[in-house]
Amino acid sequence: MAAVEVSLATFKRDIAKLRDQMSVPIEFDRDSGCYKLNTTGNNARFELPGFWLQRDEIIALATIQKMLSQLAPSLMGPQLAPLERKLQELLDKQGLSTGELDKRIKLMYAGKRQLNAKVFETVAHATFARKRLSLQHFNRSTGELSSREISPIDIALYRGNWYVNAWCHMRDGLRRFSIDAIEQVALVDTTAKDMDEAAVNAELGGGYGIYSGKHLQRAVLWFSAERARWVQSEEWHPEQVGQLRADGSYQLEVPYSDERELIADLLRYGSGVEVLAPAALRNTMKKTLHETLGKYL
């Protein structure tokens, strides 16, 4: 008490917290007149907690754990089970329940694709261990299956689906692979190629959406006043430029390298959006709308 400058009341509160909330096996030894750790029997291997959490910190951590579990239950469940048990113990002592978190936290994704847990684990392991991967990848655009050896750089979650950014040794360039499209994968005992983060971001993160490419164009989009109420608050790209017009409509400029995802997203807005430039993107949008209308004539 003298060394750390605390009162007797504070000392007793600390002892009670260690014993009652953190399950530290503290006992008072009458012979010596002091508190001691009981390190006999089941407590022989007891260790003090590595870090202590406040009530709001426990809730925050449990919330993150639940979000991860909902993102990919089959992938995250086994790895997070020990953490979930510890969090449950802490929540119980705070008078809270993980059942309440299950009811109150929901993640909803449309178009989420199913993952092979073993494939995901192998890809994640190689990414962290900096090892190469040998894989069979299905290209949905061409319908072809190809064999690749890649050096994984990082894994990313985009719109509910997982991707691995990697150096493809067959194409001798950066590529992004949808992990759910990997049909077979094996760890290669060869050190993965390291890449400069700025170079990776420039190649894979420059344009709109999931598609990559260095050759960027800028799409100029007009949104009606009704649609503008939503779009003006959204981030479509870190380098976007938006302008709210006097009539309440909204003009948005975004860089893109591949028009496919951009066109698909614009179709959701129907007559509430118009592509102003470039001409090639406007023509693609016009053609797509004509072909779509033809389905209903």
Q: Structural domains in the chain? A: 1-52 (no CATH), 55-104 (no CATH), 117-204 (2.30.30.520), 217-294 (3.30.70)
Other CB atoms within 10 Å distance of the CB of residue 84? 16
- Give me the residues paired with residue 274 across strands: 222
pLDDT at 291: 96
pTM of the complete model? 0.71
pLDDT at 237: 92
10 vs 33: CA distance, rounded Å: 18
pLDDT at 92: 74
Q: pLDDT class for 181, splitting at 50, 70, 90?
A: very high
Question: Within a 13 Å sphere around the CA of 151, how many CA atoms are in the beta-carbon half?
Answer: 14
Candidate from 7-16, 81-90, 124-133, 220-229 with smallest mean pLDDT: 81-90
pLDDT at 52: 64
Q: Which tokens belong to 258?
A: 């591949």
- Please write the tens of the pLDDT for every residue from 189-208: 999 999 888 888 878 877 88
- Please write the tens of the pLDDT for every residue from 50-64: 666 777 777 787 777
Percentage of residues of the chain with pLDDT beyond 70: 90
Inform me whether the pLDDT recorded for 141 exceeds 70: yes
pLDDT at 115: 85
pLDDT at 86: 75
Evaluate the CA torsion angle 128, 134, 136, 139 in order and state its sign.
Answer: positive
Inform me whether the pLDDT recorded for 221 exceeds 80: yes
